[in-house]
Chains A and B, each alone.
Chain A
């Protein structure tokens, strides 16, 4: 590294790599592109909590229905495996999931191993520069056709947006102990068009309870 700039009183070392591949050799890496029926989503949040606490909260998969949209039930079935049940409107889908990497306080990686969902993901917990909290980065991939994805965008959430919203719920729950919500508050009847719009705003997707 050049020594041209000597005065950097608060600079921190540039990481050479970060596990969810946001940085490689000092360069920003864009998220993977959607290809051959595989959709990718990468999202991150700055959370005011420790890497260890956030890791523990994520690792407790049986509590996932409290903050992940449309997840009805999760059961631990082995040391690294769990069974997931998701309900989207009338539709119920189920799959098994296996943890591929488990580094306490740092990183969890998983993939589905049979069932109705083909997904794989990774979450990392890193201290933010300047100790301003923990940066949580999620990288997730799905196999799904574009048409379903477009339809789901219209009717509620497509899976990409769901990953983004889930991390938002996770952050709110970690920082405040609840997930902000408006479902169940009073309003006058909205009429047909109003109802459709509410649905495109994503307000029809049930907000997770925020508790176990």
Chain B
């Protein structure tokens, strides 16, 4: 089959590899009909996440048709249409029972690597480094899905792929970000990053009762999209704009009730602080560039909540923990507990309350993926979300 492979930092190639096989009794093989490139894939592309190895198949947002199931999979059949959550969960460990699916104890075959780095291991993820399990990803024509009795969401209506594909990650991720923001009706919520995760966080914040959402980014088409959802936008790149002042001005001086960092470890920063982080990361004295996190901690109101869906990988410098303590804020974060949200959000889509496909800007073939990783990183061509049809012909 054809698959998008990570071949080193900033090096992605579409290659022909072996087809996946069933390896465990709860496995399923999915013929992938749509897959997407995520902001999280950029952290791999840019070499921020350790334990990627050349030859790894990328991709964790995918859906398709069940091709084959292992002997213990009783709820799926060949031909079923499914969306696959990017976190792999067993359904039976203490964490799965507590519905903290992204902390599943039994899905990471390389748990010892993550234990060494984080103390304990989270769940395995598709196409997201050996530390996170070393599973082959879904930017391919076929994918093997472990614990297929627990994860995949069956799509029984005839909704097109594009409307349900984002249930595999970014819609639930944006939704959990808003849930983690502990929004009470009437709240003002600030969202950093108007990428796909930020977009769904904005939409979800409104669904959960926010009276006002303030969206921060620098990319015009993304800010435009945020305004179309009803948010007030702040372009942080404009010369005379200070985000902290803007947020004070827009909240009568008290700050947002909740802040959502939907940017993560590769935050862009034009200020001196940005140069500082770049140098420190290059010298390996710091692994992440936490400029948004710092800003959000500073901005949130006293007793407010900071929700962090943006990914962080390692060691952060100059995080104003004193401000967090001084204001008595709550912080919530983590990989999305996908399995809690897929079904209820599918219902919202079915009811026509939201059509997630509005963020798609590019539809491509597998062959075009390497080129589009670059476009996606550089945020060129007005890119907002890239969807791959693994069976489309390159020439088409």
Contact = CB atoms under 8 A, between A and B. Distances in A.
A157 to B, nearest CB: 10
Interface in A173-194: 175-191, 193-194
B55 A194 contact: yes
A188 B136 contact: no
Nearest to B22: A184
A188 B57 CA distance: 8
A152 interface: no
B112 A165 contact: yes
A185 B106 contact: no
Contacts of A179: 24, 109
B111 interface: yes
A48 B112 CA distance: 20
A182 B113 CA distance: 15
B128 interface: no
28 contacts: A161-B112, A168-B111, A176-B106, A177-B26, A180-B106, A180-B109, A181-B23, A181-B24, A182-B109, A182-B134, A182-B136, A184-B21, A185-B135, A185-B136, A186-B57, A187-B17, A187-B56, A187-B136, A188-B5, A188-B57, A191-B54, A194-B54, A194-B55, A197-B53, A198-B130, A201-B110, A201-B134, A207-B109
Contact of A171 (B3, B57, B72, B106): B106
Interface bin, chain A: 35 or more
Given A172-B106, A190-B55, A197-B51, 15 more contacts: A133-B94, A176-B91, A179-B24, A180-B109, A181-B23, A181-B24, A184-B21, A186-B18, A186-B140, A187-B57, A188-B3, A188-B56, A188-B57, A203-B110, A210-B24
A134 to B, nearest CB: 11
A61 interface: no
Nearest to A157: B112
| B interface bracket (residues with beta carbon within 8 Å of A) | 35 or more
Nearest to B72: A177
B249 interface: no
Interface of A: 46, 48, 132-133, 161, 164-165, 168, 171-172, 175-191, 193-194, 197-198, 201-203, 207, 210
A186 B19 contact: yes
Interface in B121-174: 124, 130, 133-136, 140, 144, 146-147
B23 A184 contact: yes
A189 B1 CA distance: 14
A176 B111 CA distance: 16
Contacts of B56: 187-188
Contacts, number: 119
B57 to A, nearest CB: 6
A116 B52 CA distance: 38
Contacts of A48: 92-94, 97
Interface in B28-75: 51, 53-57, 72
Interface of B: 1, 3, 5, 7, 13, 15, 17-21, 23-26, 51, 53-57, 72, 90-94, 97, 105-113, 124, 130, 133-136, 140, 144, 146-147
A165 B56 CA distance: 24
Nearest to B115: A164
Contacts of B91: 176
B109 to A, nearest CB: 5
Contact of B136 (A175, A180, A186): A186
Leading 3 A-B pairs by shortest Cβ distance: A188-B55, A186-B18, A190-B55
Contact of A198 (B21, B53, B97, B109): B53
Given A176-B106, A201-B51, A132 B136 contact: no
Contacts of B105: 171-172, 175
A133 B110 CA distance: 23
Given A48-B97, A186-B19, A186-B20, A178 B54 contact: no
B112 A180 contact: no
A180 B124 contact: yes
A194 B146 CA distance: 24
A188 B15 contact: yes
Contacts of B113: 201-202
A182 B133 contact: yes
A210 B92 CA distance: 16
A194 B53 contact: yes
A188 B106 contact: no
Nearest to B1: A186
B23 A132 contact: no
Query: Which of A171, A172, A182 has the most B CB atoms < 10 Å from its CB?
Result: A182
Contacts of A187: 5, 17, 55-57, 136
Nearest to A207: B109
Contacts of B130: 198, 201, 203
Contacts of A165: 112
Nearest to B106: A172
Nearest to A190: B55
A182 B7 contact: no
Contacts of B25: 177-178, 210
Contacts of A178: 24-26, 72
